[in-house]
Amino acid sequence: GAVVSQHPSWVICKSGTSVKIECRSLDFQATTMFWYRQFPKQSLMLMATSNEGSKATYEQGVEKDKFLINHASLTLSTLTVTSAHPEDSSFYICSARRVAGAPLDDEQFFGPGTRLTVL
């Protein structure tokens, strides 16, 4: 299957700093990528839909100024957590959509996730 990478796989930062997480589709072009957040022992919560060349669409309750998303190319989307605080500590997972002929046949591939710890 297709491969989606995330970098870094884990990061520890001080409160108040910004952290950038990259999501790359390695062997296909992805016009749409998704960013999820997962707290321990909980489900994945969709944060935003990242569209290449346009602004991201954020889910209700997600601060767009806090979680900046840039989808600058067909293989790269970045999530920047600005002025991170301990409550932002979480597991962040991206997925990339590979478009098929029919919408129901579209495939989504998940990255391995990034574990963020804010001290």
Partner 1 sequence: AQKITQTQPGMFVQEKEAVTLDCTYDTSDPSYGLFWYKQPSSGEMIFLIYQGSYDQQNATEGRYSLNFQKARKSANLVISASQLGDSAMYFCAMREVNTGNQFYFGTGTSLTVIP
SS3 (DSSP) at 44: strand
Distance CA 38, CA 46 (A): 9
- Would you say 100 and 107 are in contact if contact means Cβ atoms under 8 Å apart? yes
Nearer to partner 1, 37 or 84 (CB): 37
Q: Does 49 bind partner 1 (CB under 8 A)?
A: yes
Exactly one of 30, 81, 93, 116 binds partner 1 (CB under 8 A); which one? 93
Applying CB under 8 A, the residues found at the interface with partner 1 are 1, 32, 34, 38, 41-46, 49, 91, 93, 95, 97, 103-104, 106, 108, 110, 112-113, 115
